[in-house]
Structure 1
Amino acid sequence: MTAKPSHPATEGEIDFDAPNAGKPCKTWYKIVGSLDSPSLPLIILHGGPGATHIYLTPLTDLYEKYGIPIIFYDQVGCGRSTHFQEKMGDDSFWTFDLFYQELDNLIDHFKLREKGFFLLGQSWGGMLGGAWACRRPKGLKKLVLASGPASIRLMSKGSKLLLAQLPPDVRKAIEDCEQRGDFESLEFEEASAVFYKRHVCRLDPMPEDVQEAFKNLKEDPTSYMTMQGPSEFVITGNFKDWEVGQDASNIEVETLLTNGKYDEVTDLSIEPWAKFIPKVKWVTFENSSHMSHYEDRDRFMEVCGNFLLGTSS
């Protein structure tokens, strides 16, 4: 069981007028620390889409070790925020803009534009955070993109290279399932698990919170299936052609890029961020795959904490 937190935390909900939702909508949040602190708060964007904030709870270390208040929230469509299972496959609803508006709504609710804030996005959250930062939003002071690809095409190219390194029987099982369009069988699940254990989270056993995130995706896959697709390496959803490109040059704030040596988000898909963002630093964690905040926890927090507070690491 996860130990009870020793830090102050408050939870609540924010009304969100989601476009074309057809019903009232709320965003659930949790604040670790106090927004009245002199330190700028760090807003966390989780991955998936639909994985919830739960697997990113180690980031509370940044509060405990560096005094940085943390704002977690579950994006709409998952966790304790409003779900939209009736919108499975609705490409007009599940868009980047939906999540831009939700993030802006949260920032304005807490009146953070003048004080300023940091932003950390992990995986899909890194895509979202980076694309949103290209709009030069008021109040953003520093940005962390943790294992967030800058191009789905390049991520898929990297995934093919990783898949080619799997044992022949595992590779064949995945290829056979893909050819049949069979993504719900035990055969596909077991073969995919080999990829996940190598390139998503290498810890054995996998942390409970990471398992919970996968459980959340399975229980309500609406946003994940519509935007991503049936798995981490079979991307058929509506962001399959997304890439940030030269728009990344619009990111004005200092930006930290991270990924793991064994990450499903390979260097190929991180490089465009590094190429185009003017003020950028890139750190690859040698002992990690996609969950560096768990797999190399102390070093990850050191790198992020020192970056956000402007000290050397």
Structure 2
Amino acid sequence: MYSRQEVMINVPGGQVWSELIYNESTKHNPALVCLHGGPGSTHNGLKFGLAKLAKFFPIIFYDQLGGGNSSLPEDDSDHADLWQVERFVSELACVIEYYQLEEFNLFGTSWGSSLALEYLFSDYLPKPQRLILGSPLISTGMWLEDANVLKQQMPAEIYQCMLECEYNDTTDSAEYKFAMEQFYDRHVLRKSELGDAQLSYLADNPSYFNIEAYHSMWGPSEFYVTGNLIELERFDDLQQIAIPTLFIGGEFDEACPSTLALFQEQVPDSQLVIIAGASHCGYFEMPQPYAAAVKKFLLAD
């Protein structure tokens, strides 16, 4: 039997929604703080895949400002200053402080992995005991190299459409959106492969995606970057990580397994797990093997 507590936490720029899920018998174990991707996404998919692990340790989810249950203040102000890496790091620090965490583990997926690393390398305390980087964005340059390879593997007409729309700045066109959907179904969320449980969850749990944050920090699509994350580069800093670290991704991930292997080689005390049949949202597509890998890593001696 799990206990659940939902709260609103004050952070720079507003409030964020958060949920703590725990089992009474294991509530004193180090909590797992989960950082969703995007920027601008929500906790929903992570909750589907990982909430069951609250049997073994508390789990903390939250929606980053502007997305999901963490809506922006209703005013006409310019929000551009909110969509900065430093503010998101401060936001995470506020969540950790709210729960008075002294010992905890940190999980980030996609952009959430970027956020986890920025917190780890910041002056904020306390630091996590263990780190999980799921399908991570660590180097935008390396991400785009992978994206270009995957784009070229798409049908010729789809690839050509991507190139033309990006060159002509027509990424808001129906043609580009269709091309995006084809790419996403292969490498981001393989909707055509989802089972009834996942499809029902998507239907029953609609969520607000913060497209403003996504466009400001990333760009029009997963494979075309125009935002302020374009210069993100932490590859050379990976060797500084001094805590046990798990890299986890999917077989068909846009964060390519070969690139995750390069990341893992840089971190002294680290492991790499690739989930067969999964893409970028492996925690949602293949929740059983994904959660099992997370559990094994966090409960290891």
Please report the TM-score for the alignment, with normalisation by the length of structure 1: 0.86
- Are 1:182 and 2:182 an aligned pair? no
Aligned to 1:133: 120
1:118 matched to 2:105? The reply is yes
Give the counterpart of 1:265 among 255, 258, 261. 255
Superposition deviation, residue 283 in structure 1: 1.1
**In the alignment, what sits opposite 2:86?**
97
- SS of 2:208's equivalent in the other structure is helix
User: 1:192 matched to which residue of 2?
Assistant: 180
Structure 1 residues 45-102: Cα deviation after superposition (integer angstroms, max 9, x where no partner): 00001111112112102124xx2211000111212224278435x2x44221111111
Residue of structure 1 in register with 2:137 after alignment: 149
Structure 1 residue 246 displacement after superposition: 2.4
Residue 78 of structure 2 is matched in structure 1 by 87
Query: Do 1:150 and 1:272's aligned partners in 2 also have CA atoms closer than 8 Å?
Result: no
In 2, the alpha carbon distance for the partners of 1:210 and 1:228 equals 24
C-alpha displacement at 1:245, in angstroms?
2.7
SS in 1 for 2:228: coil
- The corresponding residue for 2:208 is 216
Query: Where in structure 1 do 4 or more consecutive aligned residues deviate above 3 Å?
Result: 84-88, 205-215
> Are 2:32 and 2:58, in contact at CA under 8 Å, matched by a contact in 1?
yes
Q: How does 1:1-313 map to 2 (within 5 A)?
A: 7-16=2-11, 18=12, 21=13, 25-33=14-22, 37-57=27-47, 58-64=49-55, 67-83=56-72, 86-87=77-78, 90=80, 92-113=81-102, 116-135=103-122, 137-204=125-192, 207-208=198-199, 216-217=208-209, 220-267=210-257, 269-271=259-261, 273-310=263-300
Q: Note the C-alpha offset of 1:151.
A: 0.6
Distance 1:80 1:251 in 2: 32
TM-aligned CA distance change 1:161 to 1:211, over 3 Å:
farther
Gap change, CA 1:291 and 1:269, over 3 Å in 2: same
Cα distance between partner residues in 2 of 1:211 and 1:178: 32
Structure 2 regions of 5+ residues with no counterpart? none
**CA distance in 2: counterparts of 1:303 and 1:141, whole angstroms:** 17
- Match of 1:132, SS? helix
Residues 14 and 222 of structure 1, relative CA distance in 2, 3 Å threshold? same
TM-score (norm 2): 0.89
Q: CA deviation at 1:270?
A: 2.6
In the TM superposition, residue 269 of structure 1 has moved relative to its aligned partner by: 4.2
When residues 233 and 211 of structure 1 are mapped into structure 2, their CA distance, relative to the original with a 3 A threshold, is: farther
Residue type of the partner of 2:175?
A: E
User: Residue 177 of structure 2: SS of its match in structure 1?
Assistant: helix
Is the alpha carbon distance of 1:78 and 1:134 closer, same or farther for their aligned partners in structure 2, counting shifts above 3 Å? same
SS at match of 1:71: strand
> Cα 1:262–1:248, aligned 2, differ >3 Å: closer, same or farther?
same
CA separation in 2, counterparts of 1:212 and 1:170? 32
What secondary structure, in the 3-state scheme, does the structure 2 residue paired with 1:288 have? coil
Conserved? CA contact 2:27–2:58, under 8 Å: yes
* Structure 1 vs Structure 2 CA RMSD: 2.3
Q: In the alignment, is the contact (CA less than 8 A) between 2:42 and 2:207 conserved in 1?
A: no
Q: Is the contact made by 1:229 and 1:237 (CA closer than 8 Å) also made in structure 2? A: yes
> Could you give the per-residue CA deviations for residues 85-122 of structure 1, whole angstroms, max 9, x where no partner exists?
8435x2x4422111111111111111112xx0111101
Residues 135 and 186 (structure 1 numbering): CA distance in 2 closer, same or farther, change over 3 Å?
same
Equivalent pairs: percent with the same residue?
Answer: 28
Q: Which amino acid aligns with 2:179?
A: A
